[in-house]
Structure 1
Amino acid sequence: MKPRIAVKILLGIVIAVTLFHLCILLKVIPYDITWGGRLTNDTEMYVFETFSIGLNLILGMVLLFKGNLIKPLLPIKMVNVVLWVFLILFAVNTVGNLFAETNFEKGLSVITLACSLFLWIILRSKGAKKIKSKS
C-alpha cells in the first residue's frame, strides 16, 4: 500500500472516530461502552472525551502535514516523532481494548490495530520525508 493511500484512509478513520466521540460528548451514544467501561459519571466522561477529541484533532493535523495536504507548520522530523508517538499509543491501546470490559470496545481493537499498521506504512515508506501528493 502506498503511504499516500494510508494517510487518506487514516484521515477517514480519524474523522469517524472524532464524530463518534462527539456523539458520546453530546450523549447520543452512552459513555459506558467506552474507556474500558470504567467511566462512572458525566464529569469523567466530559474530561476523557474532550481529551480524546483533542488527540484525534492533533493526529488529523499531523497527517495532513505528512501527506502534504496542507502546508506543514512543524518541521517534518517533528511530524515524524508525533506519528511515532501515535503509533505506540495505538499499539498499546489495541492491547488495552482486548482487555476492555465491553465487547464493543474489544471489537475496536481491530480499528486501533489497523491505525497502527497504517502509521507503520506511513513512517516506513522508502526515504520519503514528505508523501508526495498526486496532482
Structure 2
Amino acid sequence: MSKKRALEFMFGLLGAVLIYHFLIFFEFIPFDKVWAGRLNSVEEMKTFETFSILVNVFMITVLIIKYQNLLNHKPNRIIDVLIWVFALFFSLNTFGNLFSENILELVFGTLFTLIAAILCVFIAKK
C-alpha cells in the first residue's frame, strides 16, 4: 500500500468518525452507548464530543498537509512528528476500547483505532 493510499484510507476513516461524533453530539446516538458507558449527563457528553470533533478536525488537517507534501515531494518533520503522536494516541485508545462496556464500541472502536494506529505508523515512517 502506498502512503497516498494509506492517507486516503485515513481520510475515509476519520470522516466516518467525525460523522459518528456529530450523531452523538446531536443525540441521534444515545450518549450512554459511547465513551465506554461512563458519561453521566448531556452536558458531559457535549464537552467530550466537542473535544473529539476538534481533535478529529485537527488530525484531518495535519493529514491533508501530509498528503499535499507527499504530492509535492516536500518533507515536513513537524507533520511527521504529529502523525507519530497520532499513532501513539490511536495505540493507547485501542487499549482503552478493550475496556468498553458497550460491545459495539469494544469491537468496532478497537478495530478502528488499531487500523488507524497501523496506518499512521506507515504514513509517518520514512
TM-score, scaled relative to structure 1: 0.85
Distance in 1 of aligned mates of 2:86 and 2:5: 18
Correspondence 1:119 to 2:120? yes
Structure 1 consecutive aligned stretches of length 4 or more whose deviation exceeds 6 Å = none
Superposition pairs of residues 2-41 of structure 1, within 5 angstroms: 2-41=2-41
Match of 2:101 in 1: 101
Contact 2:81 2:124 in 1 (8 A): no
Deviation at 1:13, TM superposition (A): 0.6
Aligned-residue CA RMSD in angstroms? 1.7
Query: SS of the residue aligned with 1:99?
Result: coil
Deviation at 1:22, TM superposition (A): 0.2
Amino acid at match of 1:48: F
CA-to-partner distance for each residue in 1:59-117, whole Å, 9 max, x for gaps? 00000000117xxxxx8221112111111110000001011111111011001000001
Distance in 2 of aligned mates of 1:77 and 1:27: 39
CA-to-partner distance for each residue in 1:12-70, whole Å, 9 max, x for gaps? 1111000000000000111111111100100100000000000000000000000117x
Distance in 2 of aligned mates of 1:30 and 1:111: 20
Amino acid at match of 1:109: T
Gaps of 5+ in 1: 70-74, 127-135
Match of 2:46 in 1: 46
Amino acid at match of 2:101: E
* Percent of residue pairs identical: 37
Distance in 2 of aligned mates of 1:11 and 1:95: 22
Distance in 1 of aligned mates of 2:100 and 2:111: 13
Deviation at 1:6, TM superposition (A): 0.3
Amino acid at match of 2:91: A
TM-score, scaled relative to structure 2: 0.91
Gaps of 5+ in 2: 70-74
Contact 2:91 2:114 in 1 (8 A): yes
Query: SS of the residue aligned with 1:68?
Result: helix
